[in-house]
Structure 1
């Protein structure tokens, strides 16, 4: 086999090895538990997010058609075989319809009232993006170094950007008929623009979903990748897993699930939480695939990224403050222990099971504590000797 073909085949095998390693890293980092915690924040952020989306659509004059399109999408997802929804699927659709109707009634008023309400809802929605940033920090093995006053506004801006992408996508998807024809006449394309828009709608939605995933993967963690990748192995993997999970979950809910019979009216809520959990699993797996491809690229350049990726932190301000607070806590605990008769050198015993870095940090504190303890003992002996001499 020629050398070029051999190298190409070897690089292809190396790239494929990123996927099983990402799956192993998912379970090593307790990915199921992380996805469950993200599902909690997703449920809390879902209703404010929908309110913000409908409010922004109302500003664009597309709130009614937007809610109708969301319901049609839910019906297609929960009834993938083209049959009418029933059982748990119908209960979930009824709950979603009532929710969207209630949110649409709230998203009304003057321009400034809708805008202020949208910003408040977006601030609540940014709680999920903040939780997602903590999850990615854990997957990267990176500490959080951004102070709260800096990190929350950053997550809010990312949420606003994602919501604007969603609004623009929905407006383009909902543009049809006379509106699309009028736009086509303005730009001189007429009915050809309507045909092109109808053809471009499915790939446009996929591209916008990839953009949302890329924004989450690039901007939320406290590490700075080399460059922004719109189409990356991780975003494509997450999109494929999301598509397969939506299709499989729709079949499961419509054919096999019986939550409404078991749990009654809260069956729809349980289905919603389960769907959020599956979605977050897909997002985390996609992020891990991107991490493994970054690690592979670093290994190919000779960098020692055997266990973790080597990326610069976006901010390390909070890290220094946390280390200082930890050091103060250790010093205070050591002083209390020595005051009550503890041995100051006890923590300095060799223990191979613990990290050597912590022993190095304790070395200056241990020396100071030992000197203080020795001085205290000598003072106590002098006082005892002086008292015994006076008693004589």
Structure 2
């Protein structure tokens, strides 16, 4: 171990009832995120999310095209988006969407756009599932087709929830005033709506994140929590980041720092990337907090959380395949070391040496030594 990582030993202390602290949970959360390289995980989720934006926009504009309201509706929608995200240039957004509308083909554009958007968004959701599996030290146990079917319907529910949140956000400010005048609502009612919509948005976000944390990993949680600490922290950080982003966008707009489509795309990519990091971090915090509680009850959770695996069919297949590959490889090594023939079941994975399909030894060096983490002794020959 490098000397810079060595610490002076702390003086010994006797604890009558030792328990882990919150600082330990935070440290293990950080180390878990570093170990799984959360920035790469969030990058993959961001990539698939952005892929769903373009076909989704084509589908929306195709609907507008079939209604014959291209110019007026698209310009109005671009203005609403600009009201929500001031860093986006409404003129550039409107011209881009109108060009997509002119190139789309009505129903065909709608169908293809919806399919492409859902598939891309489902890939982002599948990436989130894989991240949750890594946090809980497990893997996906469902077969591919069944897993993709479940992800498809989860994506539909998630998109509906996000659309609801987006509508809650959009119906505010001047738009809520105009809607209030149209519906005959009083000024006090509109003001009350503008105040109460933010707690409602937070409640919806916390619920969605908590459900995602509960259903994401391939483990059976002890119980469903309507409000997990990690989910609450993630939503609060995202909400604060959104407010900060709005302030920075206004400041940058005043200095003409945010211009054109490319800068808006860069802002969107950064927002998605940071948001996914925060979401994964909240899940990791919940997992490490659960580990501390399991240890406090005497469960051996220092390496693996003591949670029952929900789906095991694919995991059983992978274990059987790995065991077969290990047995075949050990038979080859045993024969090489002893010079004696071995008897194993006939299969296409093993053949006689010096045949067309066999992988034979080489005169060139093929090893530089043992890796840092070697297999367990049970997997090695004596």
| Aligned equivalents of 1:27, 1:270: Cα separation in 2 | 24
Tell whether the 8 Å contact from 1:52 to 1:117 is kept in structure 2 after alignment.
yes
Within the alignment, does 1:46 sit opposite 2:53 as a pair? Answer: yes
**Aligned match of 2:141 in 142, 145, 157?**
145
Cα displacement (A) at 1:138: 0.9
The secondary structure found in structure 1 opposite 2:282 is helix
| Aligned equivalents of 2:137, 2:34: Cα separation in 1 | 15
Q: Deviations for 1:27-52, whole angstroms, at most 9, x for unmatched residues?
A: 23322232223322232233345566
RMSD: 4.5
Cα displacement (A) at 1:171: 4.1
TM-score, length-normalised on structure 1? 0.65
Within the alignment, does 1:34 sit opposite 2:41 as a pair? Answer: yes
Q: Deviations for 1:261-283, whole angstroms, at most 9, x for unmatched residues?
A: 9xx97555444333332222211
Structure 1: gaps spanning 5 or more residues = 1-9, 79-88, 346-350, 367-392
| Aligned equivalents of 1:45, 1:249: Cα separation in 2 | 22
Q: Structure 1 residues 35, 114: closer, same or farther in 2, change over 3 A?
A: closer
| Aligned equivalents of 2:252, 2:127: Cα separation in 1 | 33
Cα displacement (A) at 1:96: 4.6
Q: Deviations for 1:205-238, whole angstroms, at most 9, x for unmatched residues?
A: 2222222322322222212222333322111211
Equivalent position of 2:283 in the other structure: 287
TM-score, length-normalised on structure 2? 0.66
Equivalent position of 2:85 in the other structure: 74
Q: Deviations for 1:60-88, whole angstroms, at most 9, x for unmatched residues?
A: x9x8676543331111xx4xxxxxxxxxx
**Aligned match of 2:228 in 205, 226, 232?**
232
Cα displacement (A) at 1:343: 3.9
Q: Deviations for 1:163-195, whole angstroms, at most 9, x for unmatched residues?
A: 11123334455564686689899xxxx887655
Q: Deviations for 1:358-380, whole angstroms, at most 9, x for unmatched residues?
A: 52xx77xx9xxxxxxxxxxxxxx
Within the alignment, does 1:160 sit opposite 2:156 as a pair? Answer: yes
| Aligned equivalents of 2:54, 2:103: Cα separation in 1 | 12
The secondary structure found in structure 1 opposite 2:222 is coil
| Aligned equivalents of 1:196, 1:320: Cα separation in 2 | 55
| Aligned equivalents of 2:239, 2:258: Cα separation in 1 | 25
Tell whether the 8 Å contact from 1:238 to 1:285 is kept in structure 2 after alignment.
yes
| Aligned equivalents of 1:163, 1:322: Cα separation in 2 | 33
Tell whether the 8 Å contact from 1:137 to 1:222 is kept in structure 2 after alignment.
yes
The secondary structure found in structure 1 opposite 2:309 is coil
Equivalent position of 1:21 in the other structure: 28
Tell whether the 8 Å contact from 1:54 to 1:67 is kept in structure 2 after alignment.
no
Cα displacement (A) at 1:128: 0.1
Within the alignment, does 1:305 sit opposite 2:301 as a pair? Answer: yes
Tell whether the 8 Å contact from 1:224 to 1:314 is kept in structure 2 after alignment.
yes
Tell whether the 8 Å contact from 1:95 to 1:268 is kept in structure 2 after alignment.
no
Query: Which protein has the larger Cα radius of gyration, Structure 1 or Structure 2?
Result: 1
Tell whether the 8 Å contact from 1:22 to 1:292 is kept in structure 2 after alignment.
yes
| Aligned equivalents of 1:20, 1:26: Cα separation in 2 | 10
Structure 2: gaps spanning 5 or more residues = 1-17, 341-370
Cα displacement (A) at 1:116: 7.8
Alignment of 1:158-197 (within 5 A): 158-172=154-168, 176=176, 194=190, 196-197=192-193
Equivalent position of 1:86 in the other structure: none
Q: Deviations for 1:253-301, whole angstroms, at most 9, x for unmatched residues?
A: 655999989xx97555444333332222211211111112222332333
**Aligned match of 1:203 in 178, 196, 199?**
199
